[in-house]
Structure 1
Amino acid sequence: MIAAALMVLVAVCIALGLMEGLTRLFFPAFDPSGRFEFRHKAGPLWLGQPGVAQRQVKNTGDYDVAVRINRHGLRDAHDIAEATAGDLVVVGDSFAWGWGVEAEERFSDRLQALTGWRTFNLTTPTNIAGYEALLDYAKSLGAKIRQVVMAVCLENDLGLYGTADELADDPAAGWKEWLAERSAAYLLLTTMVHQTPWLNALAVRAGVIIPNLEGISKNDHEPEAIESSADKLQGLSKRYRLLVVLIPSRALWVGENRAVEDRVHKDLVTALARRGVAVLDLRPLFEKGGAPLSYHFANDGHWTAGGHALAAEAIAKCLAGGACR
């Protein structure tokens, strides 16, 4: 029995290896070595591998964009080490990083064109504690930072700060991410499933795929987390000329948690205003046209180029003194 089991195991391994090899040979576009990942550790932060030029691809077909990482692990044509107190530094997570859009389509790059300020993009998937770490990282490289636009995402940034585990987890954690980073066959298979309607429907029914709008992170109404997050941002506002830009959660507009999300969102705005922190709440702007989800990808929670353009115009007006709360 043991010998038979070993033979089956060996046969499976050979078949998988052959499938992987053939996929890389005949479908090189699915070779994971050319796809972007956050694998460079800089203190507590996960950044891009310095100097790489790769692609960020969604297997649903939502995007396929170029990603170029500079010598500091950042997706920015500028060198953050050269930042001065008169420049603008955008800090944030994957939204501000420009997930799914070309670099020039991000709101940070658009801000530079709209305001005339040299603008640096200092971002990576993280949270408010990570934003502070990013600023400290930039300063350790020689940056002189004064003007900061900090994008805070209401889907996953609120938390109890000042604890040992306040930083966000490794953005590449999880078995799906592990396979996506290593297997061309896995990427080909998942692309086929996502883009073939009947296969996609089977995968959803089997629970293998969670539809985009069903996988949104949901907040609980936790006053302690709201106050702790507001305190953290207030502390940063004392160190920098800070504008907090609130990225509204998609759960405000879909699902069964909308009333809670509405309360959390409003309470954070109030908590920041009470502390004297400059805030730009993008929620009214996104809701103005009656279709806030249209600014997000169909199968990914991040903003499209249209969402970035809308945010850039609002931030530019705010910085000019016309729209900040």
Structure 2
Amino acid sequence: MSSILLLIGVLVSSIALQFTGAQSIGVCYGGNGNNLPTKQAVVDLYKSKGIGKIRLYNPDEGILQALRGSNIEVILGVPNNNLNSLTNAQAATDWVNKYVKAYSNVKIKYISVGNEVHPGSAEANSVLSALQNIQKAISAANLQGQIKVSTAIDTTLIGKSYPPNDGAFSDSASGYIRPIVNFLVSNGSPLLANVYPYFSYVGNQQSIGLDYALFTKQGKNEVGYQNLFDAILDSIYAALEKVGGSNVKIVVSESGWPSEGGTAASVGNAQTYYGNLINHAKGGTPKRPNGPIDTYLFAMFDENQKTGDEIERHFGLFRPDKSQKYQISFN
């Protein structure tokens, strides 16, 4: 009898492990296109592909309506141009009432107060105050156990990234990030980080191999790393430790690879990257081996109205007609 119970226990824990691994992947939804499916069709596509998490960059009520009762976990974004207004506590309360409390049957897990705000920018002065006000409004609504408030950074804030253990925020970023990390620590919130091996590789091809960026390198390098994604992520963890954030978890709020428009941007490379990342996210990094790594792939669709370099319009996992670009499974 005890051996049967033991076997059942092993089976249950392995199923749970598979489930958490499968559930670690989300996909970012951006709407910068004039040829994209309806909001309801988008949510239906997430469901049909078994994608259990979505990142929204703004509180679009059309997509929030479509997400009602879907059980899809949501990162809800506060756009950078709204940050200044949310330094007013009443405005933050109104925002939470309108976009969070009014959608009680939408599974909002994180609120990202700003995305890739740079320390020298006009918005930088508003981030901490907006974070605090949104947090107060969430607590007043008694949702603090359910929703965590954070902000999303990019890796330009890291001044030193190699070896990963020596990772540190740059001098210009540390004054900006330190009080934000203190906020995250005191509220038990993760840091959201946009992690792109693609851009690191393109910017430093003389010392970074394509195989290292695509998770296909055999064996580890001289500092014990087999892929660039882990090295970048662990450099952010090391930087957090140096500013009092040893216990702050990182949610990878964006990671992707373009299929055309620039160096190493091809369907083959992108398929390799996304497929390997989905598999890799089930585990951990050398510095944080206990996974899964909460990861959001960028992005759901090619967005033909995105500004910037040509590659920016080719990060979609799906084409605007909802056909899948790559042979990958999300769960």
TM over 0.5: no
Bigger proportion of residues as helix: 1
Pairwise TM-score range, normalised by the shorter structure: 0.3 to 0.5
User: Over alpha carbons, which structure has the higher Rg?
Assistant: 1
**What is the TM-score with the length of structure 2 in the denominator?**
0.33
